[in-house]
Amino acid sequence: MRPLAALPPPKPKDPREASPLPHSLSSIQVDERVSLPRLGPPDTCLFTLGITDLTTSDFFKISRLQLDDDSTYPSRTEYNCTELDHLQKVYYVEVTSSSFKMVETSAQLTADEEKLYDRQIRLWGIESQKRLRSARLLLIGLGGLGAEVTKNIVLSGIKSVTLLDDKLSTKDLAFSQFLIPPEKIGENRAEASVERAQNLNPHVEVTSETFPLADLNQEYFSNSRWDVVVATGLDQDQLERLDGFCRKGGLKFFAGEVFGMFGYFFSDLNTHSFTKTVKTIPKKGVVKEESVKETSKFPTFSSAINQVFEKNSSQLRLLDPSYFVIKILLKFRAEKKRNPTDSDEDWDQLILLRDQELDKHHHPREKVPDEFLQAVVGAEVGPVCAIVGAVLSQEVIKAVSHKDEPHNNMFFFNPLNNKGTVQKLGKLES
Amino acid sequence: MMRANDRLCNNKKLHLYVTMKQTVEFTACGFFKLGYPLVTSIIAAATTYLRLLDANTCFYIAKLTVTPSFLRTNSHRIMALTSISEDLRSKVKSSKILVVGAGGIGCELLKNLVLTGFEDIEVLDLDTIDVSNLNRQFLFQRKHVGRPKAEVAKESCLKFNPKAKITAHCANVMSKEYNMSYFEQFNVVLNALDNRVARAHVNRMCLSANVPLIESGTSGYAGQVELIYKGLTPCYECVGPQEQKTYPACTIRTTPTEHIHCTIWAKYLFNQLFGENPDNSDEEVFDVRADAKNEAGDKEQPKKTSPREWAQQTGYEAELLFNKLFNDDILYNLSMSDLWKKRKPPVPLLWNNNFDDSPSSDSPVGMNDQKVWTIAECKQQFADALKALKEASLELGEGESLVWDKDDEPAMNLVAAAANIRAHVYGIPMKSKFDIKAMAGNIIPAIATSNAVVAGMIVLFALKVLDSKMEECKTVYLRNSVGFRGAFIAPEKHFPTRNPKCFVCSSQQISLVTDMKKLTLKDLEKLVLKGQLSMIEPEVMMDEKVLISSEEGETDHLANKTLSEVGVLSGGQLKVEDFVQNYEIKMIVVDKQLNEDEGRFFITGDLDTMKSSTKEIEAEKSTSETNGAASAPSTSQPESDEDDVVMCTEDEPSTSGLSKRKSFEENPIPVKKRRTEAEDCVIIN
Ligand SMILES: [Zn+2]
């Protein structure tokens, strides 16, 4: 425990004041340069935060304080730790009701964590692992794809995962959703998944929420509870709205889906900086590895999904037909509020949507052959959830660790040729 | 056809046509094939019967003939797996699958199989669960550490589908009981292995049992899935026998120049002190000379005391051992003054020397194991580890010995400390325990996500194989980074051609180049046949004479005789057989004096090309050297920890085509960038 210099006088405890704690914090004037000793490795200092009589949710509300350019704490909505440079100045500060103290708790991994994460630390390094350990994920939609992402992210050693769903689990999830035990069919999908998800890694905090998905609003994403959001099972307009909320809240946003044997995901990391290793191979001598910093900008979901193509443009020609299949399926879902089955009625509808969509872009209908549409009906296929979920999970890991170039901005898994493609759709906001 | 739905059912003509062409194997019943004649008779019977009931019965006829009711799954009305045809789903249900390995890929694979509806699965793994598995082998939890992987994987998978029949074998796939008839019972075999010896073995078993094999591997972010099927694809060994990375014995024993040499030396040291006696005299890194003045020419002189006995007699006293290894032996090496004319000579170190205690590196470190020990710390670790290992070895029974394991703290600490002290003596920069562990334990970085992509792809391959669409299973690569036209999961465009000189699936002949006056039959068996050619129980015949027998004891009297001594002539032919693998090949022996760099022998299919290509690979390897300990004590068994094997790293320069097989070895070696579908297109951004 290291006491801070220039401690504010302890505030008298008033139960009525206790809940909106950020107030009291923002009234505390702390100049980071004067008062916070730099601890731990040079580029990241991690401290835990907590007021001793705080509830967990209060804890999260104030857990991230950006001690940056000026000496006051920004309000929660302005808080943004997406920039690498900012990230390096993020502190977890422990606040107690009587005094204001900093504890260096998470700067080092415990011996147990070192052992557990050994094989991945050897790949992405200890700094990435520490950043991962301070990140929090909100996962919306506990279908097969949601379960795969949950598994991979919990295994990776993130700080916390919140599972959010308002649907009940059904039998057809048995083909892909391995987190829900058979006896919990009929229960809320998020709640039913928590136990098995938690068993994957005791170091990660796994919780569930059942907030109605249709009512998701800006406030839900504005309270700095999460760093990353992965959404599955939503409509196109819900996704467009969610992406907007996440941009405003400074959260990284992913949306993904598996339909039968087909799957995709979309990423919006807004402006994202990262380090990557560049190899230079001189004619003689050893391969040199160098770490460089780069920045990528991402278009919004709305811009990507509503992209207008010029007739016969090269982009259109080189585009994987999967893009149109997603548009068809999202339209279908918007109309029917469900995914297509193998009924005649659904088939006719899919064909109709296909013809409309491709005609609109002056793109030959045979670019999306019937065979492709036959592969998208019915329940999510487990192995495809595994593939799409894994690529998506690795992108989440990249996003929070700021290491390696992210996929910008759509990934398609085409079941006809076993191909997984990354393509950039949409335009950057000016 | 793949969608047995009403729309297709309405097309009676199409339906009957497709049905008749279908070959459904009733493996569950096991007796007959649903071929054309049988289908037609079923149709005839059913049609007649239903016609009597209702004139308008086309629909039912179609339904009945496609999937007889006793085969139909109880699919949910809500949302079935309808993107997979009903016919294929029933094949899935009735097929029998073998999963070899329950490590990183294996766990993901078993989950996918069970979820997809496979109900008859056997899984084989001889390993037990370690903490470092838990970041990706998600069927295991902390409470399972120490238990057999196969058994726990089975228990966990049954929770996903209690109806599945999973048979777990905690065994080595290379043991005799898993013979050809064992392999023959499977519709498809899925490899989720971590080492090339076991891969080569399963390759041969599947070739001879004529069962499709799906081979896979990951290394870090990259991964690969490949179908191996006789007549359609190359086999696993089509790129020639696999070279193990070896270092000249004198480099390890006398003139190390890199840290890896010291690490290998330290592992040999462990084995000589506590482990099994080495098969190979090259692995003897120290001996107890009766008289240190005996010059190198006296090598043949029988030793009076073994190093183990000597160490036991002295009570594994750290100071004594330290002075012998880092002072006396170094002085002896220095006495061979010729060696040091062009090399930097080592500086002997005594236990009582004053050590500079300042940290050798003051760069910030993230983890404890990433700190580089000082010499004083190394000395302390060396002494502590010796003490702990001595106690462990006292508890062993007669004839038992310790086995080196990177996850055993004292064993790892001894190797790290001894390697570093030796490095220091030779003026080589010391390394952290974290880094030495990677070299000594042959650790390949492994993450959950790469394994999950690969395991998902394996099941998609398995579905195509069962659906008789093998030609759609072109090798798929998971790449390190996005390539041309966004290719990230990239299939090959064609099946590569088989190597007509492959010593497993094509050619009947290979050549062994060695010094016939030095290579003994024991060396031939252990190093050549088992080590390099991945045989299990080799038999060697020269004309009618048995030189090596798989019968225990039959040829023991010949074991220490050299090839020349038993009458093999240069250019002579040996018949080598392995009954377990149902494998037979002619071996031409070529007598040649080899220099130390070439090792004791090499194998070629074709004398010229093979040799030059292996040289090239060696050169490429110089940048990555984690493979140094290829001859680790455990290479003969699958180390399921390193389940995750290597592939291609696309951003590297290419090597010769023959190096492709290297891509499946334990070490990340840059291999030729494979042609993928994306590459023939122009990139426009
Ligand atoms: Zn071959």
What confidence tens digit (pLDDT) does each residue in B554-577 have? 888 888 899 999 988 888 889 999
Phi/psi at B628 (nearest 5 deg)?
-50, -35
Report pLDDT for B12: 52
Q: What is the pLDDT of residues B36-54, one digit of tens each?
A: 444 555 555 555 454 444 4
For chain A, the structural domain boundaries read: 28-104, 113-273+382-423, 302-375
A411 touches chain B (CB under 8 A): yes
pLDDT, tens only, B158-192: 999 999 999 999 999 999 899 999 999 999 999 99
**Catalytic: B58?**
no
Q: Which amino acid is at A364?
A: P
Instruction: Spell B14-26 as b/e; 16+ CB within 10 A means b.
Output: ebbebbeebebbe
Category of B302 on φ-ψ map: left (φ > 0), alpha (ψ -120 to 50) or beta:
beta
B502 marked as part of a ligand binding site? yes
- Are the Cβ atoms of A390 and B450 closer than 8 angstroms? yes
CB atoms within 10 A of CB A281: 13
B499 upstream amide cis, omega within 30 of 0: no
Say whether B447 and A127 touch across the interface (CB within 8 A). Answer: no
Nearest alpha carbon to residue B431 among B659, B440, B254, B536: B440
Dihedral over alpha carbons A401, A406, A409, A412 (to 10 degrees): -100
- With 0-12 CB in 10 A as exposed, 13-18 as middle and 19+ as buried, what is A104? middle
Give residue B204 CA to ligand 1 midpoint distance, Å. Answer: 9
Q: Which fold has domain A113-273+382-423?
A: Rossmann fold (3.40.50)
Percent of chain A topping pLDDT 90? 64
Helix, strand, or coil (residue A414): strand
Judge whether A149 is closer than 8 Å to chain B, CB to CB.
no
Distance B657 CA to ligand 1 centre (A): 14
CA of B524 to the centre of ligand 1 (A): 23
Determine what percent of chain B is predicted with pLDDT higher than 90: 45
pLDDT per residue as tens digits for the range B54-102: 434 333 333 333 333 333 333 334 578 889 999 999 999 999 999 999 9
What residues of chain A, 252 to 291, have a C-beta less than 8 Å from chain B? 259-262, 279, 281, 286-287
Residue with tokens 């139960």: A15
Residues B654/B618, Cβ–Cβ less than 8 Å: no
Using CB atoms within 10 A of its CB, is residue B645 exposed (0-12), middle (13-18) or buried (19+)?
buried
Task: Give the per-residue pLDDT at B279.
Answer: 62
Burial of B338 (0-12, 13-18, 19+ CB in 10 A): exposed
**Which of A118, A262, A390 lies at the smallest CB-CB distance from B449?**
A390
Chain A neighbors of B115, CB-CB under 8 A: 174-176, 178, 382-383
- Which of B420, B437, B439 has its CA nearest to residue B429? B420
Tell me how far apart the alpha carbons of residues B163 and B449 are, in angstroms, rounded to a whole number.
Answer: 28
Q: Kindly write down the DSSP assignment for every residue of A237-302, as one continuous string.
A: HHHHHHHHHHHHHT-EEEEEEEETTEEEEEEE-SEEEEEEEEEE--SSSPPEEEEEEEEEE---HH
SS3 B223: strand
In angstroms, the CA B29 to CA B210 distance is: 21
pLDDT at A111: 87
Please tell me if residue B457 touches chain A, with a CB cutoff of 8 Å. yes
Is A374 within 8 Å of B2 when comparing Cβ atoms?
yes
Identify the closest residue of chain B to A149 by CA–CA distance: B449
Picking from B9, B78, B81, B676 by the largest number of A CB atoms within 10 A of its own CB, the best residue to mutate is B81
* Spatial contact of B559 and B521, defined as CB atoms under 8 Å apart: yes
Indicate left, alpha or beta for B146 from its phi (over 0: left) and psi (-120 to 50: alpha). Answer: left
Q: What is the pLDDT of residue A430?
A: 73
What's the token pair of residue B473?
């299973």
**Are A269 and A406 contacting, i.e. CB atoms less than 8 angstroms apart?**
yes
Pick the closest to residue B199 from B674, B671, B666, B672 (CA basis): B666
Rounded Cα distance between B319 and A187, Å, is 67
CATH number 1.10.10.10 given to B274-439: no
Task: Output the CA B630–ligand 1 centroid distance in Å.
Answer: 23
**Interface membership of A294 toward B (CB under 8 Å):** no
Chain A residues with CB inside 8 Å of B489's CB? 387, 391, 413, 418-421
Cβ distance of B677 and A41 shorter than 8 Å:
no
Torsion of CA A313, A315, A319, A321, to 10 degrees: -30
Residues in A touching B3 (Cβ below 8 Å): 342, 374, 377
Q: How far apart are the C-alpha atoms of B647 and B664, rounded to whole Å?
A: 6
Integer-rounded Cα radius of gyration of chain B: 29
A185 touches chain B (CB under 8 A): no
C-alpha B266/C-alpha B421 separation (Å) is 10
Residue B378 annotated as lining a ligand binding site: no
Give A 233-252 residues with CB within 8 A of chain B: none
Q: Write the CA distances from B298 to B291, B294, B301, B332, integer angstroms.
A: 11, 6, 6, 15
| Closest Cβ opposite residue A172 in set B76, B159, B681 | B76
B88 and A CB contact within 8 Å: no
A386 reaches B (C-beta below 8 A): yes
Q: How confident is the model at residue B465 (pLDDT cuts 50, 70, 90)?
A: very high
CB distance from B158 to chain A under 8 Å? no
Contact B306, B290 (CB under 8 A): no
Tell me, what's the pLDDT at B21? 39
Q: Which residue of B has its CA nearest to A173?
A: B79
B606 marked as part of a ligand binding site = no
CB neighbourhood size of B234 (10 A): 20
CB contact under 8 A, B83 and A377: yes
Q: Beta A205-209 vs A252-259: how paired, if at all?
A: unpaired
Q: Do the beta carbons of residue B134 and residue B140 sit within 8 Å?
A: yes
Q: In angstroms, what is the span from residue B625 Cα to ligand 1's centroid?
A: 27
The answer to whether B125 is annotated as binding is yes
A309 to chain B, any CB pair closer than 8 A? The answer is: no
Domain ranges (residues) in chain B: 2-77, 89-246+447-462, 274-439, 509-632+658-679
Distance B230 CA to ligand 1 centre (A): 9
For the domain spanning B509-632+658-679, the CATH number is 3.10.290.20
Instruction: Find out whether B106 is annotated in a ligand binding site.
Output: yes
From A249's Cα to the closest Cα of chain B, the distance in A is 28
Query: How far apart are alpha carbons B45 and A109 in whole angstroms?
Result: 71
Q: How confident is the model at residue B299 (pLDDT cuts 50, 70, 90)?
A: very low
Tell which B residues from 579 to 638 touch A, by Cβ distance under 8 Å: 622-623
More confident site: B53 or B661 = B53
Tokens of A157: 């050693």
B179 among annotated binding-site residues: no
Residue owning tokens 């010769």? B656
Q: Where are the beta strands (DSSP E) in B368-500?
A: 476-478, 487-491
Report the distance separating Cα B489 and Cα A414, nearest Å: 10
- Check the annotation: does B195 bind a ligand: yes
Q: Is the pLDDT of residue B106 over 50?
A: yes
Dihedral sign for Cα A98, A103, A105, A107, please: positive
CATH class of B89-246+447-462: alpha beta
Q: Are B534 and B552 in contact (CB under 8 A)?
A: no
**Residue A155 Cα to ligand 1 middle (Å):** 38
As a whole number of angstroms, the longest Cα–Cα distance in chain B is 105
Q: Is B172 annotated as a binding residue?
A: no
Alpha helices in B426-551 (DSSP H): 433-440, 448-466, 521-523
pLDDT greater than 60 at residue B147:
yes
Q: Is the ipTM of this complex over 0.95?
A: no
Low-confidence ranges of chain A (pLDDT < 50): 1-106
Please give the residue of chain A at the shortest CA–CA distance from B443. Answer: A119
B312 to B268, B272, B273, B391, B416: CA distances (angstroms): 17, 12, 9, 11, 22
Find the CB nearest A178 among B79, B111, B491.
B111
Per-residue pLDDT tens for B409-421? 999 999 999 999 9
Catalytic: which of B107, B157, B170, B250? Answer: B250
Window from A147-161, A198-212, B484-498, B627-641 with minimum mean pLDDT: B627-641
**CB < 8 Å from A in window 495-554 of B:** none
